Amino acid sequence: MHKPFIAGNWKMNTTADEAIKLVRSLKDLTKDVKDVRVAVCPPFPYLPLVAEVLKGSPIHLGAQNLFWEDHGAFTGETSSHMLKDVGCQYVIIGHSERRQYFSETDSTVNRKIKAALNADLNPIFCVGETLKERESDRTLYVIRSQLQNGLQDIGKNGIQKITIAYEPVWAIGTGKTATKEQAEDVHYFIREWIEEHYSAASAENLCIQYGGSVKPANAKELLSQPNIDGALVGGASLKADDFAEIIKKSL
């Protein structure tokens, strides 16, 4: 069984000084933690600064997005090779906020996953339903569609590098959290889908994170579920003490 994987999505937060202070504190608070994979995903401008602080640390660096082309006249975009060049190992793709505010689709998510894999980056591929979709019992339909379209033409070698993050949109930034049973049900469905479309080994080795208002208070019960392998943490990852506590509760 793989190690738990806890990733912090800082979103559009921190200054340069705050980013450096946060990651220094996190390094210190987690220096004795051995059996958890940890990543932080700062805003683009601070990736090189955070990479420098993380040197010699087991904490990995991730980005919050990328563009699917390698280079060219794409003003304001950042390529997978640029992320690799500044030290990233992970990249979040298809976060619900990207879908909601920046018109990302399953098709663009698929192109971004392929670009990340081509640059030897590890995608954290986000899936999840809205409140309206959950209330109309369409959760599994939505997740199935996002998996099918987002992973189109991704082979067995590619799926080995992908983490899937289930993030119920209605539980992001709202203070609401899926119950452990609700979260586990969807994680189980995702693993079954991967087994059906790839293999039992792919499904077993797949890391599925939960990403919906994970906090120190609810981390233990969520992370103790059999198919929840980690967490994609938003607001709580901006506080070193809280994020370190979540990391420790994943053991």
pLDDT score, position 231: 98
pLDDT (tens digit per residue) in 69-83: 999 999 999 999 999
Mean pLDDT computed over 161-168: 97
Q: Mean pLDDT, to the nearest integer, of 166-170? A: 93
pLDDT of residue 176: 76
Domain span at 208: 5-249
**Mean pLDDT within 115-126:** 98
For the annotated catalytic residues, the residue numbers are 95, 167
The structural domain count of the chain equals 1
Q: Predicted confidence band at 59 (pLDDT cuts at 50, 70, 90)?
A: very high
| Amino acid 167: pLDDT | 95
What is the arithmetic mean of pLDDT over 243-251? 97
H-run or E-run covering 184: helix 180-197
What is residue 164's predicted lDDT score, i.e. its pLDDT?
98
177 pLDDT exceeds 90? Answer: no
* Confidence at 172, pLDDT banded by 50, 70, 90: confident
* Residues with Cβ within 8 Å of residue 154, at least 6 apart in sequence: 110, 113, 114, 117, 162
Residue type, 59: I
Per-residue pLDDT, averaged over 105-112, amounts to 98
Weakest mean pLDDT among 78-82, 115-119, 133-137, 230-234: 133-137
Cα–Cα nearest to 150, from 112, 114, 181, 110 = 110
Average pLDDT across the chain, whole number: 96
Compute the average pLDDT of residues 194-223.
96
Question: Rounded to two decimals, what is the model's pTM?
Answer: 0.97
How many CB atoms within 10 Å of residue 154?
A: 19
Mean pLDDT of the 147-171 span: 96
Average pLDDT in the 85-113 region?
Answer: 97
209: nearest Cα among 195, 196, 225, 193: 225
Q: What is the CATH number of the domain that holds 32?
A: 3.20.20.70
1 pLDDT above the threshold of 70: no
